[in-house]
Each structure stands twice: as structure tokens, then as C-alpha cells.
Amino acid sequence: MIRNYLNLFSKKYASQWMVLAVDSLIVGFAFVCAYIIRFNLTFDFEVENLIIQLPLVIVMGAIGFLITGSYRGFVRHTGIKDVYNIFNAICLSSILTIFLVVFVREMDLMSDFTIPLSIIIIHSLVAFLALTAARYVFKHFFHNVVNKISSYKNILIYGAGESGIITYNAISNHVSSQVRVVGFIDDDYKKVNKSINGVNVFHRKDISQSFLESRGVTEIIVAIHKIDNNILRLLVESLVDYSVQVKIIPPVQDWINGELKVSQIKKVQIEDLLNRVPIEIKKSKVSKELNDKVIMVTGGAGSIGSEIVRQIAHYDYRALIVVDQAESALYDLQQELKQNGHHNFVPIVADIRDKNRLQLLFQEYKPNVLFHAAAYKHVPLMEYNSYEAIKINVAGTKNLADLAIANNVEKFVFVSTDKAVNPTNVMGATKRIAEMYISACQHQGKTKFITTRFGNVLGSNGSVIPLFKKQIEKGGPLTVTHKDITRFFMTIPEASQLVLEAGAMGKGGEIFIFDMGESVKIFDLAKNMIKLSGLNYPEDIDIKITGLRPGEKLYEELLANGENTLPTYHKKIMISKARELDFKWVKSKIDELCISNIFFKGSESIQLMKEIVPEYISNNSELCKFDKKIETPNKTTSKNSLISSNN
């Protein structure tokens, strides 16, 4: 019964008029105390005068509260600003009282009405102390009595420095906060066993599951700014092992108007646990590169393409042409851009396989810079849909590249993938062939062709993170193809930012690769996602090993055999020094591949792909049979190999 009453009480707020009435009564009580103090704690004064003066003093106090608005604050969240408002109200009411006394005296309205100045001064001090004390007593009662019995959750703040104190104040002063900070955690022994605002500071070694359970802690907020990313990752990983939810505060530069808001404290995301430092680009060349240019983005409604569009939308371009065949996704992007105040863009539903349609777009809009992000990218699907993979990833890229040369596009930036390196599947092979065609086109016309190559993107359509989230929502199990499988990861904004930067720095003919840190074990990624969901592995959710999918390999690579890297002005962006290609032979073979694909000659197309990309060796796929028919190909033997494989 008491618990239910306190729960109900904790969710209600006192009327501001009730607060005004109570404050006015405290002012009246303080006036009586002022008389008693003035006369040496006795009643040796004319009580009749006190009775006459008391209502007027209360009215003056109420006027002061109304003018300063001190009664409007939430009493349970009283802070320094509230105390400042009370001080202003008392000062104002005292001044009004003095003016009233002088006015009555000068006008000779009430000959016996007077309030000694000493009484007014004592009353001001007593009223200020009483009003402030009353608020803090109520605040203490609410947070230390009501919260213990009601359903408020207890949290710990990791970090007893400035950031931790700011976090504590943000939580304490938040009007709808339903949490109670029960302690700080810090590694500095100088701070341990001390208190901040009455809250104890514990050492990191004190933290255990029993420690957290004894205090009812359900959440830990990491509030440390100047900390190495790897140390932060290890810290967060150690905390998610406990049965608590772990949150972190954003960087200082992301605070709203320099102040931390409770709404900005976010759950730890899976990218916070990756063994890599987020890539930041300073002194970017992108702004100068895109200034007053007509920019076209293909695949502009996809995961990477849409983020490229969002980032471009903040620059001073002349026009932005967004091309995609996905009508619904393109519509959603259009509405998003409009709502964010961006209107200088043209959404176009078109298929990059339709060269005639593309030609009309190039003639109408005359793009200066083209970002090509349109592609089929799902490995298992493309393994048995090679016709579509070749038609989009190879023929579509070929269409765009040819039109870029014919229409004098200044720069053509191609978004590739690490799966194009020593490919083991159709998707990777088609992207590698597209890279090769891009390299061959560099030797024609004035267009500068640039390729960017990076690994998996967190949160992109069809990636492992959304899949794991859906599986967790359904209660598991999480499916991992192999316990030792690893992948490189980066976030969508990072990948898009690097594509733009590589496009700006490219002189033509380069393959830019990005430093993505260390590769991540997908099995460990799955376990961390279970922990971040507040569940335990394998008790709550298990992980099932399903076996490698067709075309999938254990380890991804960013460099092919025979490739090295050259540095750029940004340490996270490197140039792949690829092996020399016979561009004339490459183009003729790619033309042959596109023609073969038009006539649905699946086996012939696969063999042509393996001839064009000698390092393309199928893995865990029905297409492995074609590897045996291809000897180590070169310019002289490739034709004979192709003929023999067709017989």
C-alpha cells in the first residue's frame, strides 16, 4: 500500500499555485521569527502591530515570487538557478516592503504602521534560508526516501572527474528523470572513498556482480572523455559482462549549446566495441572539389549511396542528381532531404542497365562529378544469380564509364568492396572486373577514374548487424557461418566520408583503400550484441554455427596478390599499387563477357570471369567445377582455355 502510494506520489508534480502558497506562508513564518530574533528570543513587542504588518509582508513576498517566477520550478529538482530566483524574489519583496513603509509614513495613512529596518533585514535573511532549506529538504526526502521505495532505477557513473559530475548534474536536474545515482566509479585512488554531492566514489576493483546486485544497480554510464579508444573499448567490454545496461556520453563537441542533455546519453552501440579508432578527416578537400558542380550519385537510395547524398547535401554544389531504381527508398530519401531543408536535388528513378536512359540523363544534366554506388552486393544471392550480378555490376558500370568519357565528366568515383580482392564468389568477381574496366577507361578521354575499396559497413542493408538484431528480438539463436570467420568493419558515415575524400584527392587511375583497423571475429561480435541487449550467452540466447555460405570465405583482404600500397596525405587512406594490366585485352574480354551474358550463357560467362580475373577461385559453391577447367590463364592460353571449356 505504502509502495503504491509513493509510486503514485513520485509521478505527480505539485501545482505551481500550491508552491506559491507554501512559499508565502514560509515568508510569513520568517517574519514572525524575525521579530522574535530582534527582541532577543522573547515576545517583548507589540503583537498587535505584528498582526497588522504580517498580511502586508506576505502580499509583498507573493508579489516578489510572481515577478521572478521562483514558484514555477520543480521542487524535487531544485538547483542553483532556483536558489538564485529565490534570492531575487526576497530582495524584491524587501525593497517593496521598504517602499510601502516609507509611502505609508509620508502619506500619514497609518500613524502606528512602521516596520523597523532591522526587522526587514533579519526577515530577508531568515526567509531566504527557510525557503532554500525547505526546497532542499523536500528534494532530499524525495530522492532518498521515495526513490528507494518507488520503481526508480539505480545507476553508477564511471568517472568521478568533470565529465562524471556534469553527467550527475544532468541526470539530477532532468525533470522526467527516474533514476538515482548511487555511486561513482574511478581508477584514481585519490578520489576513492570520498563523496561527490553525498554520493560515494568506489574503485573499479570494487565492482562485481554481487556489488551491483546489493545496490540494485541496473545501469552504468561511462562518462570519460580524454581516454584512448582501445582502452574505452576494453572498459566497455568488461562492463557488459555484468547484468547491467551500459551507456556512454557523447563527445563534448556534440553537446547541445555546450550542455549535456540526458537524451544524449546513449546505449553502447556495437561499433563502440570494434577494435578500431573512428576515422576523422580534418582539412578536407571535398568542399573545394564539389563547389558549384553538378553531381550525380547512382544507387543514391542505398545504404552507402544515400549517406553520400546526405553528406554532399551540406556542400555548395550547383545541382545534385540522385539516381536509383528503388522507387520507395528514393521517395523516403527525397522526403528526408526536404524535411532537413535541402531542395536543390533531383531524384530520378532509372536503371543503370538502360544505356539510352542514362544517355538522356547525361545530356540533360551534364554532371561534372559522378559517384557510382549502384550494385548488387549480397554474396549468396549473386552466387546463383550471376546473370543479374554481371548485368548490374559489370555492364551497368561499363555503361556509366563509357558515358562519362563521352560526356566529358570530370571525375568518376567507383565504390568497390574488399570482396573484389582475390574473389571467391560471383559478386566479388564482378566488382573486380568493374575495377579493371575503370582502370582501363583511365587511358581514354579526359575523365579521371577513381576506385574506392573498403570492407563491411555497419548497419547497411543486409549486413550482419541488422540480422543479429532481428534474431535477438525473436529470442535467438544467432546464426554465424563459421566460428573463426572475420570481417573488416566501418560505419556508414565513415565509409561515405572516405569515398568523398578519396574522390577529392584522386588524380585518376588510383584504387584507394582504407585503413579499417583489425578484422573482427563475427562470433565475438554476436556475443557482444547479446550482452548489449542485456542478455547472457548461452543461457538466454545461443549462437548456432551454420557453415560457410556459397562463395563465402573466412578472411577478407584489402589487397590482392601482387598489390602494394602507397601513402596519401591522410594516414587512413592509401593507394593500392596494382599489378599492370593489358587494358586493351581487358576491355575486349569484358565486352565479350557482357555479350555472353545477354544471351544467358551462364557457364560461358563464369568461365570468362575466371579468365579475366585469374585469382577468382570459387569457394564452397557449385561453381567450383569451373576452376578445374581453367589452367593458369594468360593472354596466349586464355582463348584455348575458353574453347576447351565450352566443348
Which active-site residues does the annotation give? 419
Q: What is the dihedral of CA 535, 541, 547, 550, to 10 degrees?
A: -70
Is residue 297 exposed (0-12), middle (13-18) or buried (19+ Cβ within 10 Å)?
buried
What DSSP designation does 270 have? G
Measured between alpha carbons, how far is 553 from 568 in angstroms, rounded to an integer?
30
Residues written for the chain: 647
DSSP class per residue in 50-63: HHHHHHHHHHHHHH
Kindly give, in sequence order, each residue whose CB lies less than 8 Å from that of residue 184, ignoring residues fewer than 6 positions away: 156, 157, 158, 159, 160, 164, 168, 191, 196, 199, 200, 201, 202
SS3 call for 285: coil
List C-alpha distances in Å: 437 to 121, 443, 592: 88, 11, 13
Q: Are 67 and 88 in contact (CB under 8 A)?
A: no
Q: Name the phi and psi angles at 260, rounded to 5.
A: -80, 130
Among 453, 449, 445, 441, which residue's Cα sits nearest to residue 581?
Answer: 441
Q: All 3 cell numbers of residue 33? A: 521569527
Q: How far is CA 647 from CA 597, 617, 635, 640, 644, in A?
A: 18, 21, 20, 11, 5
Block residue for cell numbers 567507383: 414
CB 100 within 8 A of CB 115: no
Tell me the three cell numbers of residue 466: 541488422
Peptide bond into 423 cis (omega under 30): no
Rounded distance between C-alpha atoms, residue 615 and residue 578, angstroms: 14
Site of grid cell 509502495: 3
- Check: CB of residue 236 under 8 Å from CB of residue 226: no
Burial class (CB in 10 A: 0-12, 13-18, 19+), 215: middle
Say if CB 392 and CB 433 are below 8 A apart: no
Q: What is the Cα–Cα distance from 116 to 31, expressed in whole angstroms? A: 12
